[in-house]
Structure 1
Amino acid sequence: MEVIRNLGDKAGLEFSHTRSDIISIDFHLHDAYEIYYLISGDVNYFVENKIYELKQGDVIITNKYEIHKPSFKSNKTYERAFIQFDDAIPVMYGSGAFDLLQCFNGRRKGERNKIEFDAVRRQEFLELMEKLEHTGKNKNPADAILRNTYFVQLLVLLNRAFLSSSVDAVEQKGISARLFPILDHINENLQGDLSLESIEQQFFINRHYLTRLFKKNTGMNLHQYVIYKRLARSKELLARGLSVTEACYSSGFNDYSNFYRLFKRIIGTAPGEYKKRNAY
């Protein structure tokens, strides 16, 4: 993978621009908001239980509770830029009249993740991304201030596009129609039995066929997907103030030790520490 730019700072803002051949990518579940911009590649993008078919120049936004990943349909070179950030800058510059995180938090998970721009706004977006990349290369205080202002302008642009459209640009091309009710079932029954045997009986589908179908269409096995969904749910519950034990069992885990180990490995911190930093 060629890392063209990887620029981060202490203000909770990181800009990355990378190019690579096709690689295997698991679902992401990180403690940050993300703006993803596809420069080149033949990509379907999964967010929660939804699939977006992308073309060059498309933008995907995700919040810190949405699992997401790209899936590749051909060997075309994959190039993308993305911004990961916490809520420090949006909260500092936002107001009660205009919430800079509206497009990230003001919708249901897995819905309206694809931002549609008209020609004028798309050009504005590209110019702001270029300015963010340029100012991120310099470490002097003046460029840091400029970078923050460009980032705030980018958030305003995203929110205006989001608020001007209520349509969810979800595509199902190239994805087996048999998977969509199964994905919905998983999303609605995280506390229930989501074993292959249970899904096989619920949907009258052979478990071995389901395993191959899920892997072919998502690039990930079904068990991993369920784990990431349950971890995302546990993050939400911890942020709401539930105890670690309550978050564990309420998100569908039956074994506390396994939950703790998976949370620390995938999220990067212990669930108790996550709660201290994020509970509101």
Structure 2
Amino acid sequence: MKRKLQSIFDTRQKMKSDSFEIYYYSDTRFPNVEKHAHSFYEIYLFEEGKVSLEIEDKKYEMKTGDVIIVPLKIFHRALSEDTVTVYRRFVVWISESNVADLMRRSESYGYIFKKAEKEKEYIYHLDTLSHNSIKNKLIGILEELHTERFGKEEQLKNLMRDFLLSLNRFAYHENEKTMINERISVYQTITDYISTHLEDDLSLDALSEYFYLNKYYIAHLVQENTGLSLHQYITKKRLSACCEAVRDGQLIGDVCAQYGFQNYSGFYRAFKKEYGMSPSAYIEKYSYRPKE
């Protein structure tokens, strides 16, 4: 980083600009600032150091590539007692009116701020590629600030919009991935339960009550992952278990009742539809017979 792009740390916590301010700090003697809140938004990209960040009543140990979003009126402070390790970070301040103007242009600019305000989601960890990309965008803004080129003010607006949109896009996709992983985990938990409770009541209402989940959400998860309705999925699992049991020599009448079929006629229809033959034909063809 060029030295001319660095700022000397100032404990000032008020904006001079009515749009945005950006700073790059690199120092070893960092004065601990009292907990404070802003009337503007703060974005903090951590680069290096032994630093923790307090946001409201929680303390976070910083890692390289962490991005912190601090909304309006949220009390926070950085803490560092290390006077040897260099503490490097980018700090961006954006006025409330600037964010409002951008969000009138597109709601996409405000995703990270809304998540922070409504869900208290303050921290994102950037992977190496995203970290370098976001950092380079900030360096580009700093470089433009230190020039007097034609169209500077408009270019600064463009660069800031690009930075914010990129950061919001990263945060959105990270949250989407988390939601997908959570759905997969819930789906796996439900199907594991079904596999080990084939003899029990596996109706939508029963599963909804057991997992404390909306029954339509459960039905959607199974359909999304298997292409089958919940009823079809459970029927296939029960029929498979029945087949395995009769191959091991159990009586078909006992097996169909054991695995949740209410009557033999319903079991017979489902079995023939699935395997293209009657249960007795299946037994004749596949049941185990010891060699004489």
**What's the TM-score, normalizing by structure 1?**
0.52
Cα 1:5–1:71 change in 2 (3 A) is: closer
Cα 1:86–1:139 change in 2 (3 A) is: farther
SS in 2 for 1:165: helix
Q: 1:107 offset after TM fit, Å?
A: 3.8
Matched, 1:18 2:25: yes
Q: Tell me, yes or no, if the aligned pair for 2:52 and 2:62 is still in contact at 8 Å.
A: yes
SS in 2 for 1:14: strand
CA RMSD of aligned residues (A): 2.8
Q: Counterpart of 1:5?
A: 7
Matched, 1:136 2:150: no
**Match of 1:157, as an amino acid?**
S
Measure, in 2, the Cα distance between the counterparts of 1:36 and 1:99. Answer: 19
Measure, in 1, the Cα distance between the counterparts of 2:172 and 2:79. Answer: 28
Q: Counterpart of 2:56?
A: 48
**What's the TM-score, normalizing by structure 2?**
0.50
Q: Tell me, yes or no, if the aligned pair for 2:5 and 2:142 is still in contact at 8 Å.
A: no
Q: Tell me, yes or no, if the aligned pair for 2:65 and 2:127 is still in contact at 8 Å.
A: no
**Match of 1:4, as an amino acid?**
Q
Q: 1:16 offset after TM fit, Å?
A: 1.4
Measure, in 2, the Cα distance between the counterparts of 1:106 and 1:119. Answer: 23
Q: Counterpart of 1:103?
A: 112
Measure, in 2, the Cα distance between the counterparts of 1:146 and 1:97. Answer: 19
Q: Counterpart of 1:122?
A: 131
Q: Tell me, yes or no, if the aligned pair for 1:5 and 1:15 is still in contact at 8 Å.
A: no
* Overall identity of the aligned pairs, in %: 18
Aligned length: 165
Question: Gaps spanning 5+ residues in structure 2: where?
Answer: 9-14, 179-292
Q: Counterpart of 1:70?
A: 78
Q: Counterpart of 1:158?
A: 167
Deviation string 1:146-167 (CA, Å, 9 cap, x unpaired) is 1111111111122122222346
Cα 1:97–1:18 change in 2 (3 A) is: closer
Measure, in 1, the Cα distance between the counterparts of 2:168 and 2:5. Answer: 29
Question: Gaps spanning 5+ residues in structure 1: where?
Answer: 168-280
Measure, in 2, the Cα distance between the counterparts of 1:132 and 1:101. Answer: 19
- The structure richer in helix per residue is 2
Deviation string 1:73-109 (CA, Å, 9 cap, x unpaired) is 5332222220101134333343575331221133446
Q: Tell me, yes or no, if the aligned pair for 1:25 and 1:69 is still in contact at 8 Å.
A: yes
SS in 1 for 2:160: helix
Q: Which one of the candidate residues 103, 107, 111 is aligned to 1:94?
A: 103
Measure, in 1, the Cα distance between the counterparts of 2:163 and 2:5. Answer: 23
Deviation string 1:2-44 (CA, Å, 9 cap, x unpaired) is 99237x8745211112233132221121211011122221011
Bigger relative contact order, structure 1 or 2 (CA pairs below 8 A, ≥6 apart): 1
Measure, in 1, the Cα distance between the counterparts of 2:78 and 2:119. Answer: 14
Q: Tell me, yes or no, if the aligned pair for 1:89 and 1:148 is still in contact at 8 Å.
A: no
Cα 1:111–1:10 change in 2 (3 A) is: closer
Cα 1:139–1:30 change in 2 (3 A) is: farther
Measure, in 2, the Cα distance between the counterparts of 1:77 and 1:120. Answer: 23
Q: Tell me, yes or no, if the aligned pair for 2:116 and 2:122 is still in contact at 8 Å.
A: no
Cα 1:31–1:140 change in 2 (3 A) is: farther
Matched, 1:148 2:179: no
**Match of 1:163, as an amino acid?**
Y
Cα 1:149–1:11 change in 2 (3 A) is: farther
Q: Tell me, yes or no, if the aligned pair for 1:121 and 1:157 is still in contact at 8 Å.
A: no
Cα 1:158–1:46 change in 2 (3 A) is: same
Q: Tell me, yes or no, if the aligned pair for 2:65 and 2:125 is still in contact at 8 Å.
A: no
